[in-house]
Amino acid sequence: MNAIRRRLLRAAAALPTFGIAGCASTGGRGTARRIVVVGGGYGGATAARYATLWGGDAIDVTLIERDAAFVSCPLSNLVLAGSRSITDVTIPYASLSRLGVAVINDTAVAIDADRRRVKLARGADVGYDRLVLSPGIDFFFDRIEGLHDDAQRTLLHAWQAGPQTVALRRQLEAMPDGGVFAISIPRAPYRCPPGPYERACQAAWYFQRAKPRSKVLILDGNEDVQSKKALFIKAWSDEFKGIVEYRPDHVLTGVDAKTMTARFETADDVKADVLNVIPPQSAGAIARQAGVITVNDQWCEVDFLTFESIRVPGIHVLGDSIQTAPLMPKSGHMANQHGKVAAAAIVAALTDQPVDPAPMLNNTCYSFINDREAVHIASVHRYDAAQKTFLTVPGSGGLSTAQSAREGEYGFAWARAIWKDMLG
């Protein structure tokens, strides 16, 4: 029997089976060590794929993901503009399954770190030697007065790609010409620092073509543009002159979904036709349940050599959920890089090999200004043994000199490549 067939059979055996009391029993399939990954985004899918590639027969990998397919946040602002469709940014998990990852379409609802088991919403229970949590973000809706369940159906965030992206696109399509689309940005740190500004460009590009009297209003909870500032400001003052207006120091405190009004700590109220509220964020809910959130009730501190929680042994945390190192963005590319360092470290630990003492990370992030031109920011991060964190390498990294179609082609190529890298 060849190695892939053996691994596929093991993966099938790894799927949870339901015992008499509704509990599942797993394990007992030889000597392979068990990695369970919760969350199949840029961090988790990458960790699952690389742990499988690098672990060989010594490691069984299970991925628990609540959605049937991966939907990319990067490029999803182009879905709002209508130059791409939601199917263009949706990729199935089939290749990961073929590789031998046991993909379970369910939601992890509880972690028992002492017994090293994950409880799933449908009742199954999966055991692990090492757990990887890559749960993305959750929102502090209750920090914005009036943003209750009903209001959330109108005041969308679209900050997790999927149904919200499609719904916000419909709101933009339904908005009358001459209307105002307002984007509320939370205080940093939040997922994807340049994302809201890219969104403003994409909405403006759509309005120019479909409803040219309309406006995009950026209501930033920060004192200034958080990423690619000069490049975005140039786009707003040239290509989207008279369409995009930027207002700093707009910390959102309340909303009225009936009158479409936003209230702020210090600034005047704003009324809009479509109000896109990106609320303050924290690590995903399962991280809170697992007890790995350690900073400000928001983020999870990790040992940067292994991405293991500093609080709970055996649990590794990746991606947007972590308390980042200096100048490390909460980006999909960075989560993908976390996934590889963590996969290598976990496989090493489970197979009695030394952990890489000098890991490196890089980040490349493209923002699309219109349907074909993009800008980038790039950085390189080296582990510093003395400070036990990643630091950017002096003299490295940087930004585009100007938006260009060439960088747009690279941006689309980046997406194709990283989706292959994480999903196969």
Tell me the closest approach of the beta carbon of residue 396 to other proteins, in angstroms. Answer: 3
Phi, psi for 110 (deg, rounded to 5): -155, 150
Task: Give the Å distances, CA to CA, from 378 to 42, 197, 363.
Answer: 17, 17, 5
User: Shortest gap between Cβ of 265 and other proteins (angstroms)?
Assistant: 37
CB of 5 to other proteins, least distance (A): 7
Degrees (nearest 5) of the Cα angle 3, 344, 287? Answer: 110
Cα gap 289→286, rounded to integer Å = 5
Least Å from the CB of residue 111 to other proteins: 28
* SS3 state of residue 204: helix
Strand, coil or helix: what is 149?
Answer: helix
Give me the least distance between CB of 410 and other proteins, in Å please: 6
Whichever of 53 and 166 has its CB closer to other proteins, that residue is 53
Distances (CA, A) of 58 to 52, 320, 335: 9, 29, 25
Amino acid occupying residue 221? G
**Measured from the CB of residue 132, what is the shortest distance to other proteins in angstroms?**
16
Instruction: Report the greatest alpha carbon distance in the chain.
Output: 70
Cα 108 versus chain centre, distance: 17
**Residues lying near other proteins in the complex (CB under 8 A):** 2-5, 8, 50, 53-54, 95, 98-99, 333, 336-337, 340-341, 344, 348, 353, 356, 358-362, 364, 376, 378-382, 392-393, 395-398, 400, 406-407, 409-410, 412-414, 416-418, 420-421, 424
Looking at the Cβ atoms of 215 and 381, the one nearer to other proteins is 381
Q: Which is nearer to other proteins, 140 or 412 (CB)?
A: 412
Q: Which is nearer to other proteins, 3 or 68 (CB)?
A: 3
Least distance to other proteins, CB of residue 377, Å: 9
> Which CB atom, from 53 or from 69, has the smaller least distance to other proteins?
53
φ/ψ of 109, rounded to 5, equals -115, -20
DSSP 8-state symbol, 75: T
Question: Which helix (H) or strand (E) covers residue 350, if one does?
Answer: helix 332-350
* Nearest-approach distance from CB 380 to other proteins, in angstroms: 2
| Nearest to other proteins of 123, 397 (CB atom) | 397
CB 32 within 8 A of CB 19: no
The strand ranges marked E within 85-214 are 90-92, 102-105, 108-112, 117-120, 125-127, 130-133, 137-139, 180-185
CB of 404 to other proteins, least distance (A): 8
Separation CA 207–CA 210 (nearest Å): 5
Closest to other proteins by CB, 23 vs 380, is: 380
- Cβ proximity to other proteins: between 119 and 191 the closer is 191
Q: How far is the CB of 394 from other proteins (least distance, A)?
A: 9
Distance separating alpha carbons of residues 183 and 199, to the nearest angstrom: 8
Cβ contacts of residue 242 below 8 Å, gap of 6+? none
Single out the residue of 237, 164, 170, 167 nearest to residue 200, CA to CA.
237
- Our CB check for other proteins shows the closer of 3 and 174 to be 3
CB of 83 to other proteins, least distance (A): 18
Nearer to other proteins, 129 or 356 (CB): 356
Cα torsion at 170, 331, 209, 183 (round to 10°)?
60
Nearer to other proteins, 230 or 417 (CB): 417
* SS percent in the chain: helix, strand, coil, step 5: 35, 30, 40
